[in-house]
């Protein structure tokens, strides 16, 4: 009882001081105002926040963090809230506060000649891509959540997406960072330098740290020349082995010009076409597997004829059974809608249990063939297996479509079985989505003691009071005082 009273008093003081520091309107405590910050994008996880804090500058973030330290209140940084691993919403204790960076949404600077832009953490990914395009530059990160996710969250999750093959993960696109540390100090590593070997590259610590080591408030991002000609191709193939052979063929022909090389299972394609509006399969017949490939360059023309020549060769070699080139932007958008809309369409049919794993490209067929065998055993139990992914990165997403009330029964069985096979193939149980709370067990079970000890020591060094996102990535524990 005494503990509850103490907790309430310190929470009340914290909230009152936050209101004084950032304005009453930006400290949300009403249930209806907090609601959208307390559940994830797909409504699969639910938490409860003491309050939602919405500062609008790095100085205000710093003040809020200092107040959290003073009162011992945990903070959960949140950007666009599209994360898939239950890391960006509070837990169910009701004592954590969401620290939203939505209002830090200024594009501070664009330098097209220097190929960089400096943006605040709350900028929506699509928005900053559009601003880069206005300067005839490309910010290459692109994914299904581009319209909602924000750059602070993209950096904190080291997001991957559709163009990793050519431009790398988020980590490869960050030149500099501004971060508020767990003691409230502002770490300014924003210099947009390509070369800076002056000791430890501290910004790297925060990329992929999922809000556990501090709050990212701004970033200097790498821009590239915007491609002028782009060719998008849809291919029907019979086996996962063909996907890998074709990937090598495209690589040999087009090298770094390939920006996407996506594999889609037949069931997922048909579910997307039937469940979403105005979609047609780009090829006439169903096929066991499909590839969606995109190549692009900065010249105005000439790429399409090169792609056509390669397609003639691979059709002649019977490496694919059918194929189509997008003839218009609308056709291209439809191909990508089939790829991107699979989860949305499948979720109308039941509950989606998601996974995100990676294996070496050579092991992609082994994993997919193992899945096919497993699928036969799961079908009589009304479990559908819908694999798709960035095959050029060895990154597969396996969606399990299950009945809505089966989540608790099937979660561990399905994911543990998949993860064990991935581990047997020497892969990763989280390719691009991160760890959050969802994969804490799966990841910690498979990390070496040395990796875990080093990670825990790092967390304690930076955040001894465990103010930031306790229980995400690592189990929650505070340094001994
Ligand atoms: C439809 C859909 C498609 C997706 N496709 C992809 C994909 O192709 N590739 C991919 O990698 N992911 C994908 N995702 C997952 C998600 O969009 C990414 O993880 C994204 O980078 C999260 O950004 P966000 O702004 O929504 O972050 P949030 O969900 O708000 O937060 C994610 C994590 O980052 C932390 N965080 C947020 N902001 C900050 C900050 N400023 N400082 C420190 N920590 C912070 C949070 O605490 C949390 O742990 C997809 C999600 C959806 C819903």
222-278: per-residue pLDDT in tens? 999 999 999 999 999 999 999 999 999 999 999 999 999 999 999 999 999 999 988
Residues contacting 406, CB < 8 A, separation 6+: 351
Q: Whose CA is nearest to atom 18 of ligand 1?
A: 83
Residues contacting 110, CB < 8 A, separation 6+: 117, 131, 132, 135, 137
Does ligand 1 lie within 6 Å of residue 154's CB atom?
yes
Rounded to an integer, what distance in angstroms lies between the CA atom of residue 303 and that of residue 107?
34
Cα-to-centroid distance, 469 and ligand 1 (Å): 14
Q: Which atom of ligand 1 is nearest the CA belonging to 148? A: 26
Does ligand 1 lie within 6 Å of residue 91's CB atom?
no
Mean pLDDT of 84-109: 97
Please report, for the chain, how many H helices and E strands are present, in that order: 16, 19
How far, CA to CA in Å, does 167 sit from each of 62, 162, 172, 173?
33, 10, 7, 8
Q: Does residue 146 carry a pLDDT above 50?
A: yes
Q: Whose CA is nearest to atom 7 of ligand 1?
A: 161
Q: Distance between the two ends of the chain, CA-based, in angstroms?
A: 25
Rounded to an integer, what distance in angstroms lies between the CA atom of residue 47 and that of residue 252?
49
The DSSP 8-state label assigned to residue 62 in this structure reads H
CB neighbours of residue 169 within 10 Å = 21
Cα-to-centroid distance, 146 and ligand 1 (Å): 10
Does ligand 1 lie within 6 Å of residue 105's CB atom?
no
Portion of the chain with pLDDT greater than 70, in percent:
98
Query: What is residue 1's predicted lDDT score, i.e. its pLDDT?
Result: 44
Mean pLDDT of 451-472: 97
Q: Does residue 335 carry a pLDDT above 50?
A: yes
The DSSP 8-state label assigned to residue 354 in this structure reads P
Q: Whose CA is nearest to atom 15 of ligand 1?
A: 83
Rounded to an integer, what distance in angstroms lies between the CA atom of residue 384 and that of residue 382?
6
Structure pTM?
0.95
Mutation choice for ligand 1 from 89, 145, 146, CB with most ligand atoms inside 8 A: 145
Q: Which atom of ligand 1 is nearest the CA belonging to 159? A: 11
Cα-to-centroid distance, 153 and ligand 1 (Å): 5
Rounded to an integer, what distance in angstroms lies between the CA atom of residue 345 and that of residue 297?
33
Residues contacting 212, CB < 8 A, separation 6+: 459, 463, 468, 469, 472, 473, 474
Partners of residue 260 on adjacent β-strands: 294
Query: What is residue 408's predicted lDDT score, i.e. its pLDDT?
Result: 86
Q: Does residue 481 carry a pLDDT above 80?
A: no
Residue 469 sits at φ, ψ, to 5 deg, of 45, 55
Q: Whose CA is nearest to atom 21 of ligand 1?
A: 154
Query: What is residue 278's predicted lDDT score, i.e. its pLDDT?
Result: 87
Rounded to an integer, what distance in angstroms lies between the CA atom of residue 406 and that of residue 408?
6
Tokens at 243, concatenated:
């996907």
Mean pLDDT of 403-427: 94
Pairing label, strands 289-297, 49-53 = unpaired
Query: What is residue 292's predicted lDDT score, i.e. its pLDDT?
Result: 97
Element (H, E) at 389: strand 384-390
Chain centroid, CA 340 distance in Å: 13
CB neighbours of residue 106 within 10 Å = 14
Does ligand 1 lie within 6 Å of residue 145's CB atom?
yes
Does ligand 1 lie within 6 Å of residue 125's CB atom?
no
Query: What is residue 4's predicted lDDT score, i.e. its pLDDT?
Result: 62
How far, CA to CA in Å, does 356 sit from each of 103, 249, 418, 460?
30, 26, 10, 28
Does ligand 1 lie within 6 Å of residue 179's CB atom?
no
User: Which pLDDT band, with edges at 50, 70 and 90, does 10 fall under?
Assistant: confident
Mutation choice for ligand 1 from 40, 96, 153, CB with most ligand atoms inside 8 A: 153
Does ligand 1 lie within 6 Å of residue 164's CB atom?
no
Mutation choice for ligand 1 from 143, 262, 346, CB with most ligand atoms inside 8 A: 143
Mutation choice for ligand 1 from 65, 149, 336, CB with most ligand atoms inside 8 A: 149
Does ligand 1 lie within 6 Å of residue 339's CB atom?
no
Q: Does residue 306 carry a pLDDT above 90?
A: yes
SS3 265: strand
Q: Whose CA is nearest to atom 8 of ligand 1?
A: 161
Nearest CA among 35, 67, 63 for reference residue 49: 35
Query: What is residue 317's predicted lDDT score, i.e. its pLDDT?
Result: 95
Q: Which atom of ligand 1 is nearest the CA belonging to 155? A: 21
Rounded to an integer, what distance in angstroms lies between the CA atom of residue 456 and that of residue 45?
26
Rounded to an integer, what distance in angstroms lies between the CA atom of residue 112 and that of residue 116?
6
How far, CA to CA in Å, does 443 sit from each of 84, 86, 419, 431, 474?
15, 14, 9, 11, 9
Mean pLDDT of 379-397: 94
Nearest CA among 337, 364, 363, 355 for reference residue 431: 355
User: Which pLDDT band, with edges at 50, 70 and 90, does 2 fall under?
Assistant: very low
Q: Whose CA is nearest to atom 19 of ligand 1?
A: 83
Portion of the chain with pLDDT greater than 90, in percent:
93
SS3 98: strand
Contact 244, 361 (CB under 8 A): yes
Contact 451, 196 (CB under 8 A): no
Partners of residue 428 on adjacent β-strands: 358
Q: Which atom of ligand 1 is nearest the CA belonging to 432? A: 11
Rounded to an integer, what distance in angstroms lies between the CA atom of residue 176 and that of residue 154?
14
The whole-chain average pLDDT of the chain stands at 95
Tokens at 299, concatenated:
């010249």
């Amino acid at each position: 009882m005494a503990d509850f009273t103490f907790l309430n008093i310190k929470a009340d003081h914290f909230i009152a001081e936050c209101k004084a520091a950032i304005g009453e309107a930006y400290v949300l405590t009403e249930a209806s105002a907090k609601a959208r910050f307390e559940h994830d994008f797909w409504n699969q996880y639910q938490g409860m926040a003491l309050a939602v804090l919405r500062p609008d500058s790095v100085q205000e973030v710093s003040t809020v963090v200092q107040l959290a330290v003073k009162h011992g209140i945990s903070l959960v940084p949140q950007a666009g809230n599209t994360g898939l691993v239950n890391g960006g919403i509070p837990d169910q204790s009701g004592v954590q506060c969401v620290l939203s960076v939505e209002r830090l949404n200024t594009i501070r600077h664009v330098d097209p000649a220097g190929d960089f832009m400096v943006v605040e953490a709350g900028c929506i990914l699509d928005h900053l891509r559009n601003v880069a395009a206005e300067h005839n530059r490309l910010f290459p990160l692109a994914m299904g959540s581009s319209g909602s996710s924000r750059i602070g969250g993209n950096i904190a999750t080291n997001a991957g997406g559709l163009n990793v093959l050519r431009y790398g993960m988020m980590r490869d696109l960050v030149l500099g960072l501004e971060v508020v540390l767990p003691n409230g100090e502002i770490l300014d590593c924003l210099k947009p330098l390509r070369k800076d070997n002056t000791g430890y590259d501290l910004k790297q610590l925060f990329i992929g740290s999922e809000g556990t080591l501090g709050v990212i408030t701004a970033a200097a991002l790498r821009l590239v020349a915007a491609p002028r000609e782009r060719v998008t191709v849809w291919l029907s193939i019979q086996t996962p082995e063909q996907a890998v052979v074709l990937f090598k063929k495209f690589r040999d022909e087009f090298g770094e010009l390939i920006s996407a090389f996506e594999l889609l299972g037949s069931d997922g394609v048909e579910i997307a076409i039937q469940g979403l509006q105005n979609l047609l399969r780009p090829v006439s017949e169903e096929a066991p597997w499909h590839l969606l490939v995109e190549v692009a360059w900065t010249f105005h023309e000439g790429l399409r004829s090169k792609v056509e020549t390669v397609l003639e060769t691979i059709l002649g070699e019977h490496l694919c059974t059918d194929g189509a080139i997008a003839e218009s932007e609308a056709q291209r958008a439809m191909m990508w809608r089939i790829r991107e809309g699979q989860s949305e369409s499948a979720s109308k049919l039941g509950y989606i249990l998601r996974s995100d794993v990676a294996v070496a490209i050579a092991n992609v067929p082994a994993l997919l063939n193992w899945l096919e065998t497993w699928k036969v055993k799961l079908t009589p139990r009304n479990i559908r297996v819908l694999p798709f992914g960035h095959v050029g990165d060895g990154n597969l997403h396996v969606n399990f479509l299950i009945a809505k009330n089966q989540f608790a029964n099937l979660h561990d069985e399905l994911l543990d079985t998949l993860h064990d096979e991935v581990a047997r193939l020497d892969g990763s149980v989280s390719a691009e989505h991160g760890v959050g709370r969802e994969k804490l067990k799966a990841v910690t079970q498979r990390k070496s003691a040395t990796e875990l000890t080093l990670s825990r020591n790092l967390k304690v060094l930076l955040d001894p009071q465990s103010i930031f996102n306790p229980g995400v990535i690592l189990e929650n524990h505070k340094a001994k005082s």
